[in-house]
């Protein structure tokens, strides 16, 4: 081989025809390689390492020129075995696993799992009001942060870099609130069977109200940049079209479904965690395309802000109220104080446990190490995540660990629409179609 030959960007013969490895050159260069054969048909692997596939998604595209004739998804590159691992951990420890699935909306993973466990325990009506309000607060803040990432990355992929920079700027503000309330920016394991891990820290409500005020000023920037922008609309309108019948046939939900004009939102149709007590609207659009899905997400952030504001008002009247169920046989120690070095439990908390009776110490030890028992049965309590219906099918055999936990993740279901949205369009429109679905591969592969 001569020195001027590229080791990696060549062509080779296979049973399916010639294979071309593309390493960044112009598309014309690739197409000219097959022009001699008089065949415009080419199969392209897009991903799994690609900046526009929202994680490790592999797209197998059959092209004629730049028109997509067939599009298929290759998944499984991020499989973590989370559902199987949960069978070997206590019911409370399971939260630590499932929060890592859809890493852009961890609170929803926790919520659907915990709601299922609480239904099996029969304690749905015993969850403290403050814990329910805090769950709704965190989930709606999470919806804002997730939609911001969707709009930011989608903008980046079509060249709207300002949308990307301001999107991540705002998301940082939400993550700061998560860190203040839970101690972590992601993978929180904060929503637990019986309530939440701990109370709001001092000053949290003030910072939440400051965030609401700031976002009311910042959200109009997205509308100014995108809503009537002819270039933005030209890239999104009539791209990735999928009507109501197609959505229902494939089981799609979330913004993809609501962009067809169908107002299906589990917060309204099957309320959970007290959503029936909040004043908000279900956002719909009527174009059934990528532009409609963008507008739905943009307007949903306003509705989430309305809910967060109502949560802050309710929490201000619940100062000192409990955030964990009173049943000490279930309530995993939640009000833990951290030591002065930021690690472990404080000496005061250890004295409190040790100062009780020997039976209390034994109970504390067994609850933490072994966990509580859940009556045999199965439950499915879906929630409305930023991407659609997210549900955990939780099965118990009466033991201290889940017999089975299986999640119905909307990214996995919605990804079916890739082919029907992309086929017949241009290869550049595949990027827009995928971005409008907003899949998160951690949720797809699990």
Distance, in Å, from the CA atom of 396 to the CA atom of 394, rounded to the nearest integer, reads 7
pLDDT computed for residue 14 by the predictor: 47
pLDDT computed for residue 336 by the predictor: 62
Say how many CA atoms lie within 13 Å of 226 toward its Cβ: 31
Q: What φ, ψ does residue 47 adopt, rounded to 5°? A: 95, -175
Asked whether the CA dihedral 285, 286, 288, 289 is positive or negative, the reply is negative
- Tell me which architecture the domain covering 82-332+371-445 has in CATH: Orthogonal Bundle (1.10)
Domain boundaries, the chain: 11-74, 82-332+371-445
Query: Residue 217, Cα to own-chain centre: how many angstroms?
Result: 25
According to DSSP, residue 394 is labeled: E
Distance, in Å, from the CA atom of 189 to the CA atom of 340, rounded to the nearest integer, reads 22
Beta bridge partners of 192: 195
The model carries a pTM of: 0.86
Q: What is the pLDDT along the chain (446 residues), one digit of tens a residue?
A: 455 555 544 544 444 556 666 555 565 666 665 555 556 677 788 777 777 777 788 888 888 878 888 888 888 888 888 999 999 998 888 899 989 988 899 999 999 999 999 999 888 888 898 999 999 999 999 999 999 998 888 888 777 788 888 888 889 999 999 988 888 888 888 898 888 888 888 888 999 999 999 988 888 888 777 777 788 788 888 888 888 888 899 889 989 999 998 889 898 899 988 888 889 889 899 888 888 888 899 889 999 999 999 999 998 888 888 888 887 778 876 556 666 665 666 677 677 777 766 777 777 778 888 888 889 999 999 999 999 999 999 999 988 899 999 999 999 999 988 888 888 888 888 888 888 888 888 888 88
Distance, in Å, from the CA atom of 401 to the CA atom of 406, rounded to the nearest integer, reads 14
Cα R_g (the chain), whole angstroms? 25
């Amino acid at each position: 081989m001569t020195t001027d030959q590229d080791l990696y960007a060549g062509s080779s013969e296979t049973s399916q025809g010639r294979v071309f490895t593309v390493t960044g050159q112009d598309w014309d260069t690739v197409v000219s390689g097959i022009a001699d054969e008089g065949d415009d048909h080419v199969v392209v692997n897009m991903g799994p390492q690609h900046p526009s596939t929202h994680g490790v998604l592999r797209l197998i595209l059959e092209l004629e020129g730049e028109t997509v004739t067939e599009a298929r998804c290759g998944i499984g590159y991020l499989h973590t075995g989370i559902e199987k691992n949960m069978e070997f951990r206590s019911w409370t420890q399971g939260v630590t696993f499932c929060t890592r699935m859809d890493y852009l909306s961890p609170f929803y993973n926790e919520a659907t799992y915990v709601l299922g466990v609480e239904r099996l325990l029969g304690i749905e009506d015993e969850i403290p009001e403050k814990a329910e309000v805090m769950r709704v607060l965190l989930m709606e803040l999470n919806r804002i942060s997730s939609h911001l990432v969707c709009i930011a990355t989608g903008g980046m992929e079509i060249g709207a870099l300002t949308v990307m920079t301001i999107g991540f700027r705002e998301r940082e503000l939400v993550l700061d609130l998560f860190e203040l309330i839970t101690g972590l920016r992601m993978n929180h394991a904060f929503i637990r069977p019986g309530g939440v891990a701990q109370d709001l820290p001092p000053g949290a409500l003030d910072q939440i109200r400051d965030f609401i005020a700031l976002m009311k000023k910042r959200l109009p920037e997205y509308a100014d940049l995108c809503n009537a922008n002819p270039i933005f609309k030209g890239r999104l309108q009539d791209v990735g079209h999928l009507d109501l019948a197609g959505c229902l046939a494939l089981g799609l939900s979330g913004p993809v479904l609501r962009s067809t004009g169908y107002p299906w939102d589990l917060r309204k149709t099957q309320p959970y965690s007290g959503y029936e007590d909040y004043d908000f609207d279900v956002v719909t659009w009527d174009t059934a395309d990528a532009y409609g899905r963008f507008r739905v997400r943009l307007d949903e952030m306003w509705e989430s802000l309305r809910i967060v504001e109502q949560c802050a008002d309710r929490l201000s009247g619940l100062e000192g109220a409990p955030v964990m169920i009173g049943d000490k046989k279930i309530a995993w120690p939640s009000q833990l104080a951290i030591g002065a070095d930021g690690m472990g439990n404080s000496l005061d908390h250890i004295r409190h446990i040790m100062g009780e009776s020997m039976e209390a110490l034994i109970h504390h030890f067994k609850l933490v190490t072994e966990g509580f028992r859940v009556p045999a049965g199965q439950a499915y309590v879906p929630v409305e995540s930023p991407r659609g219906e997210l549900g955990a099918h939780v099965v118990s055999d009466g033991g201290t660990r889940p017999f089975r936990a299986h999640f119905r993740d909307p990214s996995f279901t919605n990804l079916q629409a890739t082919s029907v949205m992309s086929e017949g369009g241009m290869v550049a429109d595949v990027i827009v179609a995928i971005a409008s679905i907003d899949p998160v591969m951690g949720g797809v592969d699990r």
